[in-house]
Every structure is written in structure tokens, then in C-alpha cells.
Structure 1
């Protein structure tokens, strides 16, 4: 650090002070950004840390006139948001993701077949298993990745049928994921309501 001038040393200290978030605020910031940009916790955490390093490097290279702006928390947060927005540009809603999977289309076809030709116990069971797989791939895993390191992640159920209405209220901050879960549960209900004929 001896190669830094007094202005740079003070600017680095100011920046670190400005981005200090007490009482777990750093973690809360990451969780909030995960929810806002629908990105997994590790990816958001990486962007947050990389942005901090980039700001520190800019402080070392910046003209003195720019330092006052660069050391602010707002500058750091804006840099994070800009990068996360680029990462999230191709995000799909969970329901979009579900409806584009081949396994989901196969489930719909099985339900149509059961309505027309009659349900078999085997077809009902295999369709429920497939709907569970769709839920796990398109809802459970991405939502768990966003909730990584939070208390809420332990309340997320791996089995679709365990995501009751009461359970889903715990995830009210993630409405798109709960909408997708409800859709899959409705399909399960529709399918199991069919009379098994053979």
C-alpha cells in the first residue's frame, strides 16, 4: 500500500466505510438482488465481490476529480445492478420455463390421453412422477439456488405435493415460483380426479 498516495488511501478507506452494511446487510443485499434479478445466490455474490474489487481498482487509477463519485455506495450498487441486469436479460419466468420443457408437454399429452381413453393407475403414477420432476427442475432447484444460505431455503420442499397452500405462503416474495407450483399442483389434481378404468 506504500505506493498509494494519501488521497487514494483515504478514498479506499471512505469506500469501505460507505459500503459497510451492518447487521448482516451485505448478505441481505445479495438475497434481495437474487430476488429482484431472479439469479442464483452464488452468481450474485460473485458480481457483488467483483464490483467491489473493480471499484477499488478504479480508485487507484482515477483522477482525483472522479474519486468523490467513485467511493459512494450508490456508484457501487449501480455497477452491481448494471452487471446483474445483463446476466438476467434472458431470464424466463418459471412458468415459461416449465411450459417449454418436453417433459411438461408429455405430461399434458398423458392427461389428454387419460381423459379420452381412460386413466390407468400406471399412467397416473408416471405422470405424477413426471410433474414432480418438472417442479424439481424448474421451480425447486432455481429457487433453492436463490435462497442459498437463508433460513427460508430449509422450508422449501423437494416434493411438489408438499408445497401446500400454507407452505406456499412462506414464499410470497417469490410469486412467479409459487404461481408455477400452483399450476403443477392443479395439473396433479386434475389428473388424480380422473377415474381409473383399468
Structure 2
């Protein structure tokens, strides 16, 4: 399997092949792994999806746009997209991860896809990365409004119940701004997993949704 084939699949030619190699390298395989690129790609992905949704659905409310964004950037969605471009075949994994089926693990695939997006940002800038994201998610962007989307808090509760974990606790840890311009910072805590995530929003409910979304991402990394 050649890296050129992957570039054809995402319809982007890297000028610097080394950065794509880093994006495809799991931490189990090398010290020069993809986690920093994953961090960058996660941010670029979120902005690119927000851009696309804002432009497509001009009558959608902030709440609707947020739910659609959460659906499109969640780990399980990214893993499906990664499988569609056969991303697992291009990954460099340590022996243990290879033997345990790492090439087909949702968390590894989702992280690697974000890393590839981050690599495009470094190689060609945000606009190039945005175009890659829109191409990869095109069919889902076209359909995302036609299907009912569950609130991140509901998704988190269902996932934890299904795994026999404690239900999440939400606490407001900070309120800033005047009454007409309030912002909330909320902590979401899952004691049985010893995990904490923080979300922010203009209402407590929005901050809780963001915290639940980030907690789902943390749980996906643990799988």
C-alpha cells in the first residue's frame, strides 16, 4: 500500500511527505508520532465543519448547528470515514497494536484521521484542510439534517449505562460576564472512569452539552 494511494483517496497531494508519514505513525511505533498533529487536526476539523454547516443551513439555530457539528465530528463518525478511505492500511503501529487489531480500532482510526487533517493544515494551510474535510464528509453533510440527532448528554448517558459505568455529574465551576452576557463553565465528571471534561457556553445547558461532547471524546480514546 503506497502513501500516494492515500493522497489520491483524500484528493490532496502533500508537498512534504514526511509530515504525512508522521500523521500515520501511532505512538506505539515511534517517538515521532501523530498526537500533536491530531491536536491540530481536531481544531481544524471542528472549524471546517462549523464553516460548512453555517454556510449550508442558513435558517438553523445555534443549538441545531451545534448538534449537527457534534454528530459529524464524533469519534464513531470519523472512524467510519477513516474506513471508507482504508486509512488503517497506511498506519504505522507497534507490534502490540498490530496484534490486537489496532488497524481497525475506532479510537486509533479517528485520531489518525484528525492527524491527517492536521498534516494538511501544516502542509497547505487551513483552506486546503477545510476542502479535504468537506470532501470526506460530503455525503454526511448532505444528510445530517434529515436524521434525528441525539443530544450529547443523552448519548453520554446511554453509553455509560450500556457499559455499567457511573452516570455523569455536572457542576458549574465558573460564571463570568454580566447578566445579559453570561458565560458558564461546567465540569462533567464520570467517577467510575476517573475522567473529567469541561465545557463552556452562554447557558448552563449549552455548557453541559459541550462538556458531554468532550467527555464522549475522552471515552472513545479509552476504548
Q: Scaled by the length of structure 2, what TM-score is found?
A: 0.29
Q: Scaled by the length of structure 1, what TM-score is found?
A: 0.32
Structure richer in helix, relative to its length: 1
Tell me which of the two structures has the higher relative contact order, counting C-alpha pairs closer than 8 angstroms and 6 or more residues apart: 1
Instruction: Choose 1 or 2 for highest CA Rg.
Output: 1
Structure richer in strand, relative to its length: 2
